[in-house]
Amino acid sequence: MNYILYRLQRIIKTKTDAEAHLSNDFKRFKSVRLGLFSFIIFWDTTDGLDIVYYFTAANKRQRGLATYLFKKMLRKFAGKRLFMDISPTNHASLNLARKLGFRLIGIRPNYYNHKIPAYLFSYP
Ligand SMILES: CC(C)(COP(=O)(O)OP(=O)(O)OC[C@H]1O[C@@H](n2cnc3c(N)ncnc32)[C@H](O)[C@@H]1OP(=O)(O)O)[C@@H](O)C(=O)NCCC(=O)NCCS
Write down the pLDDT at residue 69. Answer: 98
Write down the pLDDT at residue 8. Answer: 61
Domains of the chain: 28-123 (3.40.630.30)
Mutate to test the pocket of ligand 1, among 31, 51, 62 (most ligand atoms within 8 A of CB): 62
List, for the chain, all residue ranges whose pLDDT scores fall below the cut of 70: 1-15, 18-25
- Which residues surround ligand 1 with Cβ inside 6 Å? 38, 53-56, 61-67, 90-93, 95-96, 99
Bridge partners of residue 55, in order along the sequence: 39
Helix axes 91-100, 65-76, angle to 10 degrees: 40
Global pTM? 0.86
